[in-house]
């Protein structure tokens, strides 16, 4: 990674962290409802992988922990926050919420709340790419626990069989809600689970964004050059609970502290400071700048945006009637 890229990535990771922490606050103020799954601790995963891919060009799909993935693809943080607030200006017009962020113009194909649900959809994106003949790839980010769903196995078989251009990124944060991975999964190393399907795979540190980037580059190249699908496992940790109702009683303070010593933001920050490319003051200034942006632009936009009109309750259930009339009436000119 070039120096200027590292600085930009640091900035993006700080934005990701602060955005999520601000969501936490808004949730406590009851501005955000429903389930809210936050990303602090895992920033290097999505951001490192997408550095190696082409955000806004490659198709990305993921689960419910999706705000940062959307933003990294190009979604406006203002619209993502407005979505969390349930506003009409939200990225899904207030119909989706935290678990269903969509930004199709940036090829962020959505967050989905059913664990394992996106696997086959990613295969389908790969199929669409295959038929259209471009050089895009599809990238599917999911957690480790999702790999125990049947869809994981059905999908791995199909993508290998049809040689679909899909990169699977497993963000292994060691827990599926409150169940530790070694209590739910027979083989803890996730990258080994695709060997039976003949899929190339690797495992790496998910806390060091440069390590993620290097591994992702190889994986992305492999998929983009149409050698087949690829499965990349990133070893990471989420600092907060699974969702807002989670007290984290299932894991120890020591474990959490240990992981916080390997914070993805601090790893990169310290490396830049050591290299003389950044000072402690500059970093604080960056944090302050981002906080101001989130407060004055992002949150403010969400707060001030209108709610959806209740008269539009049934909008978006089916396609627009007018354009569909020929098929609905059978009267085709």
Ligand X SMILES: Cc1ncc(C[n+]2csc(CCOP(=O)(O)OP(=O)(O)O)c2C)c(N)n1
Residues in the chain: 333
Contact predicate 55/327, CB 8 Å: no
Which entry of ligand X, another protein, none binds 218, CB below 5 to 8 A by partner kind? none
Nearer to ligand X, 142 or 169 (CB): 142
Phi, psi of 179 (to 5 degrees): -105, 120
Residue 230 and residue 220: Cα distance in Å, rounded?
Answer: 8
Determine, following the binding rule CB under 8 A, whether residue 150 of this chain makes contact with another protein: yes
Nearer to another protein, 255 or 316 (CB): 316
**Site residues (vs ligand X, CB under 6 A):** 65, 113-115, 142-146, 173, 175-177, 242
Determine, following the binding rule CB under 8 A, whether residue 3 of this chain makes contact with another protein: no
Which residues on adjacent β-strands are paired with residue 167? 139, 230
Nearest distance in Å: CB 277, another protein = 39
Residue closest to 87 by CA, chosen among 302, 312, 297, 282: 302
For another protein, the binding residues in 74-133 under the rule CB under 8 A are 90-96, 100, 102-105, 109-110, 112, 114, 117, 119-132
Determine, following the binding rule CB under 8 A, whether residue 326 of this chain makes contact with another protein: yes
Nearest distance in Å: CB 187, ligand X = 15
Which entry of ligand X, another protein, none binds 96, CB below 5 to 8 A by partner kind? another protein
Provide CB contacts within 8 A for 87, sequence distance 6+: 94, 302, 305, 306, 307, 308
Residue closest to 138 by CA, chosen among 168, 103, 105: 168
Element (H, E) at 232: strand 230-235
Determine, following the binding rule CB under 8 A, whether residue 278 of this chain makes contact with another protein: no
Nearest distance in Å: CB 144, ligand X = 4
- What does the CA dihedral 316, 320, 325, 327 come to, rounded to 10 degrees? -60
- Ranges of H-type helices in 166-232: 181-184, 209-224
Nearer to ligand X, 65 or 93 (CB): 65
Helix, strand, coil in percent for the chain, rounding step 5: 50, 10, 35
Nearest distance in Å: CB 155, another protein = 6
Nearer to ligand X, 113 or 202 (CB): 113
Which entry of another protein, ligand X, none binds 112, CB below 5 to 8 A by partner kind? another protein
Nearest distance in Å: CB 294, another protein = 23
Residue closest to 166 by CA, chosen among 189, 143, 200: 200
Nearest distance in Å: CB 111, ligand X = 11
Nearest distance in Å: CB 321, another protein = 10
Q: Which residues bind another protein (CB under 8 A)?
A: 59, 61, 90-96, 100, 102-105, 109-110, 112, 114, 117, 119-132, 138, 150-151, 154-155, 157-158, 161-162, 315-320, 323-324, 326-332
């Amino acid at each position: 990674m070039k120096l200027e890229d590292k600085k930009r990535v640091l900035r993006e990771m700080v934005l990701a962290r602060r955005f999520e922490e601000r969501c936490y606050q808004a949730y406590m103020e009851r501005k955000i409802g429903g389930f809210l799954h936050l990303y602090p601790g895992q920033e290097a995963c999505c951001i490192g992988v997408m550095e190696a891919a082409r955000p806004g060009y490659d198709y990305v799909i993921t689960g419910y922990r999706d705000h940062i993935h959307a933003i990294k693809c190009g979604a406006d943080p203002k619209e993502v926050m407005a979505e969390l607030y349930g506003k009409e200006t939200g990225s899904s017009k207030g119909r989706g919420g935290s678990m269903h962020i969509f930004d199709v113009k940036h090829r962020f194909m959505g967050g989905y709340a059913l664990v394992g649900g996106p696997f086959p959809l990613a295969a389908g994106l790969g199929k669409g790419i295959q038929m259209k003949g471009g050089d895009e790839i599809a990238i599917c980010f999911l957690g480790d626990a999702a790999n125990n769903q049947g869809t994981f196995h059905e999908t791995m078989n199909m993508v290998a069989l049809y040689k679909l251009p899909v990169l699977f990124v497993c963000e292994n944060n060691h827990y599926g809600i409150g169940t530790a991975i070694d209590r739910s999964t027979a083989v803890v190393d996730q990258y080994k689970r695709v060997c039976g399907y003949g899929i190339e795979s690797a495992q790496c540190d998910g806390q060091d964004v440069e390590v993620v980037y290097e591994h992702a580059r190889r994986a992305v190249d492999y998929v983009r050059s149409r050698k087949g699908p690829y499965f990349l496992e990133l070893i990471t940790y989420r600092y907060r609970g699974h969702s807002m109702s989670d007290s984290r009683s299932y894991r120890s303070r020591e474990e959490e502290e240990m992981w916080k010593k390997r914070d993805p933001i601090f790893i990169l920050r310290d490396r830049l400071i050591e290299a003389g490319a950044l000072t402690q003051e500059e970093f604080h200034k960056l944090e302050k700048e981002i906080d101001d942006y989130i407060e004055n632009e992002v949150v403010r936009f969400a707060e001030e945006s209108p709610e959806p009109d209740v008269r539009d309750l049934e909008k978006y259930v089916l396609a627009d009637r007018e354009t569909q009339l020929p098929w609905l009436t059978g009267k085709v000119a």
